[in-house]
Copies of this chain bind each other. A is one copy, B any other.
Amino acid sequence: MPLVTDPQVLRDIATRIRILSVESTSAANSGHPTTCSSIAEVLSVLFFNTMRYTTSSPKDPSSDRFVLSKGHAAPALYAAWVENGLVQEKDLLKLRQLGCDLEGHPTPRLNFVDVGTGSLGQGLAIAAGMGYAVKNYDKIDARVYCLIGDGESAEGSIWESIAFISHYNLDNVTLIIDVNRLGQSEPTTLGHNLNLYKARLEAFGWNAIVVDGHNVEALVKAFDVAATTKNKPTALIAKTYKGRDFPGIEDKENWHGKALGKETERVLGHLRGLLKNQGQLKYTIPKPLTVAPQVNITNIQLSSPPNYKLGEALATRQSYGTALVKIAQSNPRVIALDGDMKNSTFSEQLKKYDASRYIECFIAEQNLVGAAIGAACRDRVVAFVSTFAAFLTRAFDQIRMGAISQTNVNFVGSHCGVSIGEDGASQMALEDIGMFRSIPGSTVFYPADAVSCERAVELAANSPGICYIRVNRPPTKVVYANNHQFQIGKANVLLSSNNDQVLFIGGGVTLQEGLAAAAQLAQQKVNVRVLDPFTVKPIDQQAIIKNARECGGRILVVEDHYPEGGLGEAVLSAVAEERDIYVRKVAVPKVPRSGTTAGVLDYYGLSAKHIVNYLLEVLKK
C-alpha cells in the first residue's frame, strides 16, 4: 500500500502517539514512554496508511494483523487505537489502574489485541502462526506485521521464528525491528549497526531493508516493498532513537521503564509544538482486500468411536495419533504441529491423512508453541501441539503467556516419566503435570488407556483454555469399554467392593501397576479401590473425598512424576480441608537412570510389587 494519507498527518499522528504515551505513563507514574517514542512513526504509518483493517471490528479475520512483541510499548499501541477512535482518550489516562483493561502490557482483554505480550521474543512466533494460517488455511490476502525491539532480537526464539517464516516462504509476514540502540540496563550488543541486522536476516533467507524509522515516507515505501516482495518475507530494520523528540532524554541511557516525572510538562510542551495540524486529522485506513471464510470449530467429534478390546495393550501416544485423524475427519480446521518428533508422538498420522494440516516445526519448541498460538488466534483453527513432554519445558514461558493470551491450543506430551526406559533422564518428563497444572484455566488429562485417550483428544478439541494430554511411551492395557462416557473433572472407579480398605489413585502406567497390585491383594482378601482421575486438573474432588471416606480415609497415590506439583499434590489439594484423611504419596524421588521400562519402574518403586507393599503399610494407618 503506497501513500494514502498525507505524510504530515502521519507525522502528526506519530507526535500525538508520543503525547498520549507520555501523558498516560506520567498519570500512572510508571511505564515505558521512551520505548513508545521510538516506534511512533512505525505505528502511525501502519495504522493510518498501510494496514487494511476495520476499526469497528478489530478482530475481523479478513483484516491485517499487528503483533506488538515489545509489549512494554503498550501505551503507544493504545494511543494508535485512541487515534482511530476505538479507545477513548480518558480511558488511556487510567493506564495501569486496577480494572482498566489498558494494562501495563497488552492482553486480549482488549478487543484489538490478539495475544498477551511482555515476555520478549514471543511475538514473531505468533505472527508466524498467523501468517501460516492466513496463507494456507484461510487463503486470503491479509498481512501480518510484527514489531520487535532490538534488545529483544537476542532471544533465540526470534531466530527460530525467523527460520520458520523463511522456510515456509511466508511473504505475508513483515517484521519490523525497532533498532533504538538501548536495552534496559545498557546499550544492545549491536547498537546502531543496522547492516549487521541486515546481514543476519539475509543469511536466514529474508529480504531485509534498512530504513529511517522516524521518516514516514521511507516507512511507507519500505512497507510497500514488503507487500510486493513475493516468496520471501521482508524485514524492516528501522533506525530509531529511544525517547525520540523528548529533548534531553532522546538516545540517553537510564531512561528505560521510567515515567517522565518532573520532565513531563517540558516534554509535552515540546511535542505539542511539533504538531502542524490541530483537531480531527484526515486519514485513510484501507479496507481488507479479501474476505476470510467462515469457519466452525465447535462441537468437534471423533469420526468413529474408539474400537479396542478390553485388555488389549497399546501406547496412548498411538491412540493420540488415531484420535487426531478422527477429529480431523470430522472438522477441516483441526491441525497438528510437531517438533520433528512426529514418528514418535504419532502426529504423523495426521500428516499421512492430510499433509496440508500438519505443520512441521523442526527442533524449535518455542516457535512450535508460539506458531500454534498464533494460528489459533481469532478462532481460525483447532491446534494440537505434540513433542516429547520433557521438551515442552522448553516453551514454558510461551505456554505461560498462552494463558494470558487466552489461547485454546492443546498440547500432547509423549514419553512421560521413567517408564520410557532406556533413553534416560534427559528424555523423561517428570515435571510436566506440575508445569501444566500451574497454568491458569488449564485442563490436564492423563488417560490410562486407548479408549480414554481418544476421548481426551475429543474433549480437548472442544475445551476452552490450554489443554494438556500426557501420553505414555509403553503400552498400557485397555481398561474402559468403547462406549464409556468421559467427562472433564469426573473420575472413574475401576475396581471396588463393599469392603475396600485403601483408595489407590494412579495415572497412566502407575494406574495399571496399581490394578495389578490390587488384583494380587484381592487374593489375600485385602480389598483395594482403584480410582482413575482421568483429568488431574480439574480433579474430581468430590469423588476422591467420597471414595476415600469409604476406604477408611486412606489414600495411596503413586505417580510417574517428581513428587512436586503432580497427581499427588493435586490429590492433597483436593482433600486439604478434610480432616481424617491420610494420604501416602509415592513418586520418583531423584534424577532417574536408564534401564528397561519394567526395570526402572521397579527401581524407583512404581511397580505392582512395590505398590502391594505400600498398600499393606497404608492400611495400618
Interface 0/1 of A26-63, CB less than 8 Å to B: 00101100000000000000000000000000000000
Q: Does A468 contact B (CB under 8 A)?
A: no
B119 and A426 contact, CB distance less than 8 A: yes
B340 and A590 contact, CB distance less than 8 A: no
Q: Does A186 contact B (CB under 8 A)?
A: yes
Stretch at the interface among A8-16, A82-90, A199-207, A315-323: A199-207
Q: Does A329 contact B (CB under 8 A)?
A: no
> Whole-angstrom distance between the alpha carbons of A92 and B442 in the complex?
44
Q: Does A131 contact B (CB under 8 A)?
A: no
Closest to A420 in B: B104
Given A569-B572, A573-B585, 6 other A-B contacts at CB below 8 A?
Answer: A96-B424, A99-B595, A185-B338, A185-B360, A572-B576, A576-B584
Interface 0/1 of A574-615, CB less than 8 Å to B: 001111111111000111011110011001000000000000
Can you sample 27 A-B contacts with CB below 8 Å?
A30-B423, A99-B595, A103-B594, A107-B591, A118-B426, A119-B390, A119-B426, A120-B363, A154-B163, A183-B340, A183-B362, A184-B343, A184-B344, A185-B342, A186-B360, A390-B400, A394-B396, A394-B397, A404-B425, A430-B438, A431-B439, A434-B564, A440-B590, A441-B591, A569-B569, A576-B584, A579-B579
Closest to A159 in B: B159
A132 to chain B, nearest CB (A): 15
| Chain B residues within an 8 Å CB radius of A537 | 564
B435 and A391 contact, CB distance less than 8 A: no
Residue from the set A154, A156, A579 with the largest chain B CB neighbour count within 10 Å: A156
> Whole-angstrom distance between the alpha carbons of A341 and B360 in the complex?
35
Q: Considering the complex, which residues of chain A in the window 76-112 have a beta carbon less than 8 Å from any beta carbon of chain B?
A: 96-100, 103-105, 107, 109
> Whole-angstrom distance between the alpha carbons of A331 and B183 in the complex?
31
Q: Considering the complex, which residues of chain A in the window 319-334 have a beta carbon less than 8 Å from any beta carbon of chain B?
A: none
Please pick, from B152, B189, B404, B427, the residue contacting A104 in the complex, using a CB distance under 8 A: B427
A582 and B583 contact, CB distance less than 8 A: no
Q: Does A213 contact B (CB under 8 A)?
A: no
B424 and A118 contact, CB distance less than 8 A: yes
B186 and A151 contact, CB distance less than 8 A: no
Q: Does A383 contact B (CB under 8 A)?
A: no
B572 and A577 contact, CB distance less than 8 A: no
> Whole-angstrom distance between the alpha carbons of A31 and B422 in the complex?
8
Known contacts A573-B572, A573-B585: does B118 contact A596 (CB below 8 Å)?
Answer: no
Please pick, from B390, B553, B564, B599, the residue contacting A437 in the complex, using a CB distance under 8 A: B564
Residue from the set A400, A427, A553 with the largest chain B CB neighbour count within 10 Å: A400
| Chain B residues within an 8 Å CB radius of A414 | none
Interface 0/1 of A365-381, CB less than 8 Å to B: 11100000000000000
Known contacts A105-B427, A593-B103: does B572 contact A156 (CB below 8 Å)?
Answer: no
| Chain B residues within an 8 Å CB radius of A367 | 156
Q: Does A447 contact B (CB under 8 A)?
A: no
> Whole-angstrom distance between the alpha carbons of A364 and B621 in the complex?
51
Please pick, from B97, B203, B437, B594, the residue contacting A196 in the complex, using a CB distance under 8 A: B203
| Chain B residues within an 8 Å CB radius of A28 | 422
B576 and A184 contact, CB distance less than 8 A: no
B565 and A576 contact, CB distance less than 8 A: no
Q: Does A313 contact B (CB under 8 A)?
A: no
B424 and A103 contact, CB distance less than 8 A: yes
A156 and B157 contact, CB distance less than 8 A: yes
Q: Does A502 contact B (CB under 8 A)?
A: no
Closest to A196 in B: B203
B340 and A151 contact, CB distance less than 8 A: yes
Q: Does A71 contact B (CB under 8 A)?
A: yes
Q: Considering the complex, which residues of chain A in the window 131-175 have a beta carbon less than 8 Å from any beta carbon of chain B?
A: 151-152, 154-160, 163, 167
Q: Does A116 contact B (CB under 8 A)?
A: yes
> Whole-angstrom distance between the alpha carbons of A553 and B431 in the complex?
31
Q: Does A403 contact B (CB under 8 A)?
A: yes
Q: Does A563 contact B (CB under 8 A)?
A: yes
Q: Does A348 contact B (CB under 8 A)?
A: yes
Q: Does A117 contact B (CB under 8 A)?
A: yes
Please pick, from B105, B202, B397, B570, the residue contacting A424 in the complex, using a CB distance under 8 A: B105
B30 and A565 contact, CB distance less than 8 A: no
B565 and A553 contact, CB distance less than 8 A: no
> Whole-angstrom distance between the alpha carbons of A135 and B87 in the complex?
55
Please pick, from B390, B404, B565, the residue contacting A426 in the complex, using a CB distance under 8 A: B404
